Amino acid sequence: MATLKSYGVRLGESTHQFPLPNRGDNYKSRRNAKWRSPQAAVIPNFHLPMRSFEVKNRTSSEDIKSLRLITAIKTPYLPDGRFDLEAYDGLVNMQIENGAEGVIVGGTTGEGQLMSWDEHIMLIGHTVNCFGGSIKVIGNTGSNSTREAIHATEQGFAVGMHAALHINPYYGKTSLEGLVSHFDSVLPMGPTIIYNVPSRTGQDIPPRVINTVAQSPNLAGVKECVGNDRIEQYTDNGIVVWSGNDDQCHDARWSHGATGVISVTSNLIPGLMRELMFGGKNPSLNVKLLPLIEWLFEEPNPIGLNTALAQLGVVRPVFRLPYVPLPLAKRVEFVNLVRQIGRQNFVGEKDVQVLDNDDFILVGRY
């Protein structure tokens, strides 16, 4: 067999020799000069926000500040784990009919943490398209990644959401200066609610941070879960706050200056929650609702809500893992709570049921 010859040329070798040009002293001086980065890389704010100033259908932060009852809407599923848009539309319609003024789409209650960003933005766009003329649509486009938060917020406003909900970076926590930079990166895009829930993020957003970012006209306000003392601290300084705790929202609204509530319980009893926010001090109604609210949050949200809505027959009993339904004894408790408060005050028209364990579908891949 003939030996194949190599025609490769090693570095440093050449079959031809070409004379080097005479570069002179100018080449030597440039060669010895200190390297400088390209100018574009150091221009501040070089990455401009992808935003529109078309005002025909835009919502201002002032429009958001006036909302009293905002529901963190549940996302229902089909048996294969995809969105059940028919059931979702029914839930939103029931909120509108019972006086809710806004919905949070894809929040913790709506299980945004279990959605792909494609699903997330699609659901925001669907909600705007179907209901945007009747209720304010606030998209949860927050993330612990500033890059993701920017991108999702750009897309959310592009599909028509009225405001964005932003959480502080969780798990991979940052400094207070980092929190300010994170929020400053998304505030220029449109009306924004900042969400403070240290029990989930592992980090409190202190007043120092909120007071700094409140200089932006796009800060609509804060969803505050630390408590009513913190709420009053903000409202005394003219910052709009919604209570993030259903069990404290009555006192927050009527004794501590909160504008209203961003509520989980209103998924179930929107009319009574509206009464709690609009009807003046009503300690008797508040006391009446507390057992239901306590039941809802005995396990991490949205486990209780998902179970309750399935028992009321307004969504299919489908859970995206890692969420699983409440045990049988708790489901029996809910049936009794519905009877005490009155079935007519809850969403849906079917009789409340306990449901068997086998009725629930748990989906890990979807």
Q: Is 326 exposed, middle or buried (0-12, 13-18, 19+ CB in 10 A)?
A: buried
The DSSP line for 34-48 is PP---GGGGSTT-S-
CB under 8 A, 24+ apart: contacts of 237-246: 237/211, 239/210, 239/211, 239/214, 240/65, 242/67, 242/70, 242/193, 244/195, 244/196, 244/197, 246/273, 246/293, 246/296, 246/297
E strands, the chain, are: 69-72, 102-105, 136-140, 163-167, 192-196, 219-224, 241-243, 260-263, 318-320, 361-363
Residue 274 DSSP SS3: helix
- Return the residue matching tokens 């849906």: 348
Element (H, E) at 127: helix 117-131
Give yes or no: 223 in active site: yes
Give yes or no: 56 in active site: no
> Of these residues, 136, 223, 234, 323, which one is catalytic?
223
Count CA atoms closer than 13 A to 68's CA, side-chain side: 16
Residue 202 DSSP SS3: coil
CB atoms within 10 A of CB 332: 13
Tokens at residue 267, please?
Answer: 């998924």
Helix axes 303-311, 328-341, angle to 10 degrees: 70
> Of these residues, 88, 195, 234, 323, which one is catalytic?
195
Provide the sign of the torsion angle of the four alpha carbons 342, 345, 347, 349, taken in this order: positive
Tokens at residue 3, please?
Answer: 């030996």
Q: Is 187 exposed, middle or buried (0-12, 13-18, 19+ CB in 10 A)?
A: buried
Amino acid in the structure at residue 144? N
Q: Which residues are catalytic?
A: 195, 223
